């Protein structure tokens, strides 16, 4: 099985610099979807950054990865994504979720799944030129009619089932353990079946942090912040019995201890204080980091076990992002294409 790879970029640096990273990723073969993160207090604005990235690239698809209906009203999202799509017709997608760091940093709660479902329906209908009924009356988007694929980022069992029911695609965000990914696919298949769909109708991408370096200890050190973020995201689902069977008692304890100290203002940061709580068990199950040959073997294991071959690789805070992109593509992605 051959790999298809895309990227996910946190906007920790000026938007023009991130656009250069995206352009290099496309040039080096990350020709799947590239996602730009949306978290208004800790990163740059996603829509301004998307414009610059689209101007710097030729063929890849780009979108917010992901936005949410708490910090951005669905009507605002519809207008914003439609405007961006005018710049590169056919190359723009929309990623939606319930909200993570964008929501927690303003001390609000993530959207309910019902709110997410309603928001996706409103956005899709507005983009399709339909009139939409809301509490205050009927609304419509007056200046465009377009079709933009909507992807749902999901971790928990209920959100995965919903994603299979309402999404054109899914961003699976459960870490790097093949068992976790298999579990996520089971939830997607069950959700799709409930509405007469098939899992094969979904464009499924696994969000993954993969850091290759000939110095394996250095690689594992660099991704501790990413591993902490993934573990924190899984903490709320560690009580789900269908998920717990893939986790050791020790791993559950590690994740719960870390989540109690997690600081969203240091979300995914390499120097976040909470990374001191990242254990080897968390690293092994949340990310892929080590020598290039080790990273290849881990990705092959995931593909052979789950059948998934589309990966959205995190291009986040690194000591030298340009070099990281080149190493990832040359030493890990290219051998698997």
Where do the domains of the chain lie? 4-212+292-336, 224-286
Q: What is the pLDDT of residue 317?
A: 66
What pairs with residue 5 in β-bridges? 311
* Residue 276: DSSP 8-state: G
Q: What is the pLDDT of residue 272?
A: 82
Residue 211 makes CB contacts below 8 A (sequence gap 6+) with 219, 220, 222, 223, 287, 288, 289, 295, 318, 324, 328
Q: Answer yes or no: are the C-beta atoms of 130 and 98 closer than 8 Å.
A: no
Q: Compute the distance between CA of residue 148 and CA of residue 11 in angstroms, rounded to an integer.
A: 23
Superfamily of domain 4-212+292-336: Luciferase-like domain (3.20.20.30)
Crossing angle between the packed helical segments 157-166 and 113-127, to the nearest 10 degrees: 20
Which residues, given as ranges, of the chain have pLDDT below 70? Answer: 317
H helix count then E strand count, the chain = 15, 12
Q: What is the pLDDT of residue 251?
A: 92
């Amino acid at each position: 099985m051959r790999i298809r790879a895309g990227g996910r970029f946190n906007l920790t640096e000026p938007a023009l610099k991130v656009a250069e990273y995206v352009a290099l990723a496309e040039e080096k073969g990350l020709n799947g979807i590239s996602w730009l993160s949306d978290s208004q207090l800790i990163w740059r604005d996603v829509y301004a950054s998307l414009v610059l990235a689209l101007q710097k690239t030729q063929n890849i698809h780009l979108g917010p990865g992901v936005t949410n209906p708490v910090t951005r009203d669905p009507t605002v999202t519809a207008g914003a994504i439609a405007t961006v799509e005018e710049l590169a017709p056919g190359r723009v997608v929309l990623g939606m979720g319930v909200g993570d760091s964008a929501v927690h940093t303003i001390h609000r709660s993530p959207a309910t799944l019902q709110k997410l479902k309603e928001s996706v329906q409103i956005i899709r209908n507005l983009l399709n030129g339909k009139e939409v009924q809301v509490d205050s009356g009927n609304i419509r988007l007056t200046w465009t009619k377009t079709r933009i694929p909507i992807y749902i980022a999901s971790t928990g069992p209920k959100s995965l089932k919903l994603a299979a029911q309402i999404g054109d695609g899914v961003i699976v965000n459960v870490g790097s353990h093949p068992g976790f990914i298999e579990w996520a696919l089971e939830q997607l298949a069950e959700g799709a079946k409930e509405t007469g769909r098939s899992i094969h109708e979904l464009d499924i991408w696994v969000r993954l942090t993969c850091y290759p370096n000939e110095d394996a200890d250095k690689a594992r050190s660099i991704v501790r912040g990413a591993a902490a973020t993934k573990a924190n995201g899984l903490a709320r689902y560690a009580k789900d019995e269908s998920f717990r069977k893939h986790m050791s008692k020790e791993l559950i304890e590690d994740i719960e201890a870390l989540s109690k100290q997690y600081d969203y203002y240091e979300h995914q940061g390499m120097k976040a204080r909470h990374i001191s709580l990242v254990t080897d068990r968390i690293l092994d199950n949340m990310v892929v980091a080590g020598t290039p040959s080790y990273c290849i073997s881990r990705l092959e294991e995931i593909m052979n076990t789950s059948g998934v071959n589309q990966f959205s690789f995190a291009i986040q805070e690194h000591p030298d992002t340009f070099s990281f992109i080149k190493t990832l593509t040359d030493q890990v992605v290219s051998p698997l294409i």
